[in-house]
Structures are given as C-alpha cells and as structure tokens.
Structure 1
Amino acid sequence: MEHTIYNQIVVPVVNFLTGYITKHLGYVISSSKHVAHLKNNLKDLENEKDNVRNKTDRNNREHKEIPDGVHDWVNDVEAFMKAVESISSEGYGCLNIKTRHQAGKNACEALQRIQLFIEENDKFEWKTTMMEQLKTKANNQKMFAYIVPVVIGETPDMRSIQNDIAVRLTGKQLLEKTESERADGLCKRFKNILEVKKKRILVTLDDVWPGKIELSKIGLTCPLPNGLKLLLTSRYSDICEQIAINAHSVHVEVNVLEKQEAEDFFFHNTNVSKEDTELYETGCEIVKRCGYLPLAIHIIGKHLRSKTQYLWKTTLLRLDANDPELNVQKTIKVSYDFIQPQVDKEVLLLCGLFPDDSNIQIEVLTRYAWGLNLFDGVSTLVDVRNRIRTCVRNLINANLLINNDDIVVCVKMHDLVRAFVLDVVSERDRSWIIKHGNVTQLARRDESCKRISLTCKGMFEFPKNFEYPNLSLLQLMNGDSSLEFPEDFYKNMKKLQVIAYYDMKSPLMIPRSLHCSTNLKSVEVIQSLSYLFEYI
C-alpha cells in the first residue's frame, strides 16, 4: 500500500516540484544569460521585419501579391519589440532575487514569442510577378503538360530563345543552322506534342518590345493550334492587341493604381501623415504627376523620406504635369542625382553593362571595382567586396536595383532603370558602348570610349585595327566557336584594366597581343574555361 502511494503520488509530486524549482532557479541564476540571448534575438527579429518590409515595398511597386497576414505580422512584431524594450536592461548585476527572477522569466517568454514570429514569417508565400503567379497556378493545377517560359526583352537573342524553347519541349537543342530552319523544327516539335502525344502546352512571352518577336520565329502559327495557350506581357498595348487579334486571343489591360491606393503607397514610403498638411498636399501632386505608376511612386517616395519641404517642392517642379510616362524616367533621374556617395553611381552604371533581365553577380561587380580602382584607399579584395556590398545595399534601398530572391548572390535591374542607365552612359563624356543585339556597325576606332560590353553571338571576326586607346573595361559575351580575333586585337588598348569573357566558345579569345595591356588588373573567365585551356 505504502509502495503504491509512493509511486502514484509522492514520485510525481517530487518530479513536478523538482522541475518547477529547477526552472525558476534557472530564471534567477541565468538571468543575465537569458537577457543577453534576448538582445541578440531581437536584432535577428528586427532584420526579419526589415526584410518583410522590403519585400512588401517591392511587391507593391511591381504589382505583386502580398501574402495574407503580412501587415498584421509587422504590426504585431513592432508592438512586441516596443513591449520588451525594458527587458534588455533588466537583471544585469542586480542582487534582488525577485528582480532577477522576473527578468529571466520575461526574457525566456520573449524568446519563445520571437521563435513563433520567425516560424510565422517562414510560412508566408511571397509571390513574384503576375506572370510567374499564373505559371505557378497553372503548374499546380496540372492544366498543362508543358510550360515554356520565354523572356524577350529589348534585344532578344533569337537563337538562344529558339534553343531554350526546344529544350523545354524535348530536352534537346536544335541542330538546324538558320533561323527559319530552327523555327520549322520548333513547329514540328509543337505539332508532335499537341497532335501525337495529345498534351497541352502553355507558352509565356515576358517583356515583349515592338518589332522584337514574330510568333512564326518560335514555331507558332496563327491562329494558335488547339491545346496551346499563349500568355504574354508588354508595356506596349498595341503589341498585345495585334498579337491577340492574330492569335484569336484576348487582350487584358493591367491598370495603374487607384488614386487613393497610390497616395497611401507613397505616404507609406515617405512616412508622412495627413497631419503634415503642406507635405501631404505636395505629395498628392507628386503622386498625380507620377501617373499613379508603382515604380515611379516607390522610387520618388523612398528618395523623399525624411527630406525637407524645400526638396519636396523642388522634386515636384522637376516632374512634368502633362507627361506621366516621361516622369518615370525623371523619378529615376532624381533618385540617381541624389545618390551618395558618388561611387554608388559608378556601381549602378556597371550593372548597365549586362543584358536585359540578367542575374548580376555581386562578386563580378567586386572584381570589376577592384580592377578599375573604384575605391580610394582600399588595398585588398576583401575590403572592395565589403564596399561593393554596401553600394549594392544602398542602390537596393534607393530602388535602383532589385534583390534576387532565387539567387541571393545576384541582383537584377528593372528594365526602365536599365534604359535610364544606358542613356547616361551614352553621353559624350562617358561614351560607353553596350550592344547586346546588332553589333555589325561597331566602330573601329573611338578615343572617347571607356567601357565596352558586347554580345558576340553571330559574329565571325572582330574588325582589324580595333583601336580604343582609352578603353578600361572590355566585356565579351556568348561568342560562337567560329569567332576569330586579330592577333593585334589588344595592341591599341594599353589602358585596359578589366577583361571579362562570358560563355565565349572561341579558343582564340585571348590573342597574343594581350601583353600590350600593361595596366590589366582583372581577367574574368566565366563559362569559358575549357576554351581558355585550348589557348593555354
């Protein structure tokens, strides 16, 4: 009987009391440790909150969906952080056991709440562009057996586009040599999947520019065959209308923000309330002149945050009251003009060397900056890397670069920002040459040119007597194996500091005259290594 009472009553009570006492003694003994741990975790939570805010701002700017519950999550986190501010200073060096116990207990409970916040944040499903949302939905509902995404852009590489489509359809590249033969090959592959395999196909064309794509060149016929659906996006309404008519499809207009929605978005970015009457009235007029376009509102709003009324009015005067589309470029210029430090501008311009929709590697920017000596007083590559990351972060905060959620070591540039950058670098004092389409009219000589970036696909040889005596950076991309370089290619490039080869298939891509470039500090060889070995 006594044994039963001991096992069923005494042991559980003792175990409970032991655990209870140990737990609460831990609050007292480890109070300082718990509070220190809380301070570190609060910093992590602050970073999580800032990251969510950045994603929310980006999605608002780019017409992307914001997950349900995000705004409530941010508000709850801010309220929580305000409530626990006092805990971080409690318990240190205090001899009062009750105070130490309360500080330790509060810190442990706060740590548990932080963990819940982080778990809630992990559950948010951040959507990307509207195009990608539709593709994801179609894929999840198994509406199509094949989904073929294609980005067109301002300077499309038709050979690459055709090959990408072929690989998506059959896993094999096209062997045909001419553009028309490759188009016929694609048409046959589409026909085989639709008619023989009886499978449905979705083709998505993103960022379509005027005169840059014909459906026949990617193997599609008009009207579209049964079982094939085409989804395309473009800033140019007439393109969508024309293709919709030819393909017997529907044209859907995506409108700008509503007036109230646009104003709320702007004042969220500027952190200005209606109580600040003068700034509020000026801000409403700025939003109107931005044409209620999310990108323009977001860029100008971030720029004006915490700025004086004088700067708000100056910004308003710089925007045209009658041309909202022109004002998009003007808002980018306003943001660009006020970039500090100046070297951030140089990093932004370097990003313009890459083609549309590129994943721009931060490490590549680091090596370019190292080779070009962009930073004064910096003697190691590690220091340059840290400075570049700071520049990139500043440009992201200014909404001139975009975080790449899929590839964290890369950034992207909105096509409107890139268009602005290309205008800047084409000015007389810079005279950069950036060609990712037609390179047939490349000049043989240009003494003012400082940077060159070329996509070499389709080129057979570089012109002889290629003279760019003040060139400091040369970036060559996507050269075919048949591309030949003159032996004296680098002879008249004695100031060259950086050379970059991307997917260059020519074994002669490093001519013997390279030794003439005595200032050379950085050579980047990316996806071209096997061909470099052929030269060596």
Structure 2
Amino acid sequence: MHLGTLNNFLKRKEPCSSEIPSSNRAKKMDTITRSSICTPDGTQNIFKSRDLIYEAALKSLQPNNESRKMIALCGMGGIGKTTMMEQLKKEVEASNFFDKVVKVVLGENTDLVALQRATAKCINLEDIKEEAIDARADRLRKIFEGMSKQGKKTLVIMDDIWSEVDLNDVGLRPFPTGFKLLFTSRSEYVCTQMGVKTDSVFKLRVLDVAEAKALFFGIVGISMSDHDDPELHKIGEDIVNKCGGLPIALNTVAKSLIGKKNEAWKETLSSLQQNVLKDIVHKVFGMSYNNLENEDDKSIFLLSGLFPDDFDIPIEDLMRYAWGLKLFTNVYTLAEARRRTIVCVNNLIHVNLLTQSKCMGCVKMHDLVRVYALSNFTKVKQASIIYHDNMLDQWLIEDANESYDRILLKSKGINKFPFDFNYPNLSLLIVMDEYNLLKFPQDIYKKIENLEVVCYEKMGIPLLPVMFENSTKLRTLCLRSCSLIDDISFLGHLSNLETLSFVDCRIRR
C-alpha cells in the first residue's frame, strides 16, 4: 500500500469506531501518531523492545483472562500508543476474541455529550434522544447490560484520554460481565484513577538506536545493508540521533527525505542541529504541558529543562533552586518544599514529561522534551549553554544579549566567559566547569545583581567576595568541588541567604 493511500485509509471512520469532535490540533496529532511507525509499503512494525509489552497486553485482552478487566497503554506524545492500540484491535478482531469492538477517540478537550453520542454510534444506536446526561448514561447502560446478558464479549477502546472520565456517564458502571476496557493516555495517573490496576498499565518507551535506524531507513526506502553511499548512511544515522528515538519525529523527518539527494539530507541535519523540530515538539509536548493543572508542576518542569542533555537531574537541586526562586505556593519550610518537589516530580513522571533515572534521587528529561522546556515562555526565559574549547553551542539562544531570567553554563575546556555576560534580570545562574579552568571577569556581578540562586560546580576561585558587594537578593548558594579563598567571612553579609551548600570544597590557606 502506498504511504499516501495508507494515510487516507487511517483517516477513515470505521463502522464501529467514532471520533469525538475536538480541536484541529488534536485531530492532526492523532493522524500523525497513527502512521508514526509505518513503512512505505504500509506495514506496521512491532519493535523488538516492545514485544513483551504487546504480548502482555494481548494476553490481558483475552476474554478468559478474568484477572484483568481494564488495561492501559501509556507514554509520552508521539511514542506510538495509538499505533499499538490499532495493532491490538486488529489482532483481537482477526482472532475473534470479541463479538463487538467499540472504539472512541476522546482527544484533549472531550465533551461528555459528544462522548455519549460517539459511544451510541458504535453500538448501532443512531442517536440518544434523551437530553439529560444521566438519562443518556442509563440508556447506554441498558444496552450494554443487554449485550452482557446475551453473552456477547465486548471490547471498549478509549483512545487518547487526557482527563478522568466517569465510566458511569458512558453506561459502564457497574462494569458489565464479558466486557474489557483498553485505554491509551499520556497520563498513567488518569488511567489508575479510572480503575486500571498499576500492573495493567503498560508504558511505552522511546525506541533504541537500532530500532530508530530501522524505522527511519525503512520509511525513506533505503536498505541499512546497502552501503553504496556510505556518506548518506552516516548523515541518516546523525539525523536519527537528533530525533531521540521518538517515532513521530523519525516518521516526520523521514517522510520529508523520501527520494531526496545527499544535499537535502545535509540540509535537514543542519536544520535539526538548529532545532527545526520545534514545531513538532510544540505540537507533541505543548498539550501535555498545558494540561498540567498545578502551577508548581509547571515550574518544576521548566526548571528541569535547564539541565544539559541526558543529565541525571538531582531532585534535591530542583528543590533548592525552586525554594530560592520562590516558585512554590503556600510552602513555608524546606521540609514542605522537599515534599512538594517530590510530588511535582512524580506528577511529571506520570504524564511522561520526566522519566526515572538509574541514579538514586535523580530524574531525567528526554532531549525533545527539553527542547520544548527551553522554548522562550512568556513568564520565564531560560537558556542552557554548552561551551566547548572556544566553540559555543548556543542552545536556543538567538541573541546573546537578550535578557534571560535563568542560565546554565557548562564549560568544557575554556578559561574565560564566552560572551559579554550582561543579564540584569538574571535570577538563577548555574555554572559547571568540567576542567576547573573557568575564570570570571572582574565586573561580572555588576551586570547580574538581581541573582537569587547561584550554583557553582568544579570552579577555581569564583570571585565570591566580589559578588557579595553587589548581591543583596541571594537566597540560595550551592558550591560543589570548588576552591575557595581562606576568608569566607563575606558569607555573613548575605542577609537574605536561606540555603547554603558546600560539597567537596577546598579552603585555600
């Protein structure tokens, strides 16, 4: 099947499927995700890393598996939840697991009346004439109960759930005998609130490198074993690496390169290095961010984006920085701030904006999620800069003189600041000096006198006494593996300092 034909096929309404009207953005995202791991010939791949998840989900859907009535596929946007759901749906239909498969697509902004109508349409009920929501729910419940009494086995699929849906409102409370429920959602929390047991939530992760390459080269139609053009293969591998194993990014970029020559591939790689994926990133992760109900969760999310790629982000650091910046509402002690930070981190993990780290007490952020977090939000502008041996990698910095609120600078092999450091609105500064070489200009603190949080890591003598001649707002100071002068009495002048951390620091005498 040609790719264009496949896309048209995927957009069609199926006889027992119904899509609830939602925003145009949500509809576009659904279409992209459905074809996100399809090759040009129309085949859909179950990747090896997802074999166990697929098999476990399929086993759970078997009607004779009485221990699991509800299951959920969860993961970040564009990860392939809907694609796997469609594959499961196809297999249970081919295997005659159920007499009826009902599928409704909810989307970001779900209207309850529209959901009831969509459900009714899937069970061959032309329309629900009842006006009251409770009456509509009773009508659906009676139909489902009738199907159950007739011994009909039924699978109900709710795709793309963003917020909790009361199953009573769609006639599924009490849950009918012989029924199964399959959800897809970005939020594990939403699914468990709707009754899915934690061991029935299947989390989809990003593709590993080999699978990402297979997907990319499969879509562009080039064999990975054909090395007639090694340069093209090398460019393709670099493109794959920039997509971070996210199927929607791989799919979108690969489609744009079908039939293109080397120069077009080089141009694409150059664009990716300048974060041309921003449009995709905003579509995928903007909805997840905007659906965070708690402002504290949003604050911790943005703060997490400041850390470098593939970084193990210490939760304790997030707490200290958030405290110093006064990000939390109704938090008055460090103990409360620590608890709040842990709650926020867990909330972000549940909606797949953060992931677990192998390092104890830390979390991680996917590279493309980080691209979104570093986008210049209206309420806070922040930049994460990596400086390598006289070569500046300006991550999302269009203008080095722009007034940022937060900056993380990671130095690798330089001994002076890379540009005129003039940020009068800067409230947070994190400097990581990998080789303990970086020296500050003498007048640096006159240009950043509104600092509230400072963290220096592996620095020589970071001009601390000079700093405090101008800094009166500092609330948090963290020093790690730094060499300090012998006189640290200047700390007594910090009237607003509330948290001070010395880790592996040396006092020079």
TM-score, with length taken from structure 1: 0.41
Structure holding more helix per residue: 1
The structure showing larger relative contact order (alpha-carbon pairs under 8 Å, at least 6 residues apart) is: 2
From the two aligned structures, give the one with the greater strand fraction.
Answer: 2
